[in-house]
Amino acid sequence: MNSSLQPASLRGSPPAEPPPPAVRPEQFFFAAFFVLLVVAVVLARGSSDNELLLGIYGGSDAEFAEFWNFISRLGSTATLVAMVAVFGLLLGRMGRKEQAQWLVAGFAATVLLVEMLKWTLARGRPPVEHLTAASGASFPSGHAAESLFVYFYLWMVLQDAASLRRRGAVGIAVGEVCSIALAVAAGLVGFSRVYLGVHWPSDVLGGWAVGSFVLGIAFLSGEQRR
């Protein structure tokens, strides 16, 4: 058969490029920033913030305070600095230096934004017994902001990890499990801060808004989507 009459797939033509995503990462994160910030402001200005706090707060005899303290530590500065250092080095050794740089720079920017907002707004913490140590102003939650940035950034990087896909079904399964764990971790950290009585729900939403904003800036770099 004349090769010119064969279908392209039989002539060894390269497969078609996958279509671009309908929503790019930076668009998603900027939209999330706007929605989360609006909801946080609405909550903070009404009585719903207090009602949600009392509904989630564990109380002085909380059975699961130790568990939620453990979850909260997953969003502590010490834990996240260690993660950023380890994964930054790993990404650098894999030749993904721009992603490593954005991980470090984005985390630093998130910490800075949180501290600036805390200093500017100087919101008091909830008037309940705190089930973990906390200091400084309440809005936004640093644990929520910083954990969302780090965990979601690593989640997005993992989605793009070709090395896992090359390992077949096992690699893909490992990637999916790790992705789910990273995505869920940020939500659990935020919930823990309200359960432990050290943040209003609107503080957590505000923290997630800050993290989303920095993620949007980070993913404006074309290298993040490769």
pLDDT at 179: 72
Percent above pLDDT 70 for the chain = 79
Q: Do the beta carbons of residue 224 and residue 21 sit within 8 Å?
A: no
Query: Does 116 fall in a domain?
Result: yes
Q: Containing domain of residue 68, as a range? A: 25-225
Query: Does 11 fall in a domain?
Result: no
How many domains would you assign to the chain? Answer: 1
Query: Does 4 fall in a domain?
Result: no
Query: Does 19 fall in a domain?
Result: no
Average pLDDT over residues 45-69: 88
pLDDT band at 10 (very low <50, low <70, confident <90, very high): very low
pLDDT at 15: 47
Query: Does 6 fall in a domain?
Result: no
pLDDT band at 58 (very low <50, low <70, confident <90, very high): confident
Q: Collect all residues with Cβ–Cβ distance below 8 Å to 218 and sequence separation of at least 6.
A: 102, 105, 106, 153, 224
pLDDT > 60? residue 27: yes
Query: Does 109 fall in a domain?
Result: yes
pLDDT > 60? residue 221: yes
pTM for this predicted structure: 0.83
What rounded mean pLDDT belongs to the chain? 84
> Among candidates 169, 142, 175, which has minimal Cα distance to 156?
175
Query: Does 3 fall in a domain?
Result: no
pLDDT at 220: 81
Query: Does 65 fall in a domain?
Result: yes
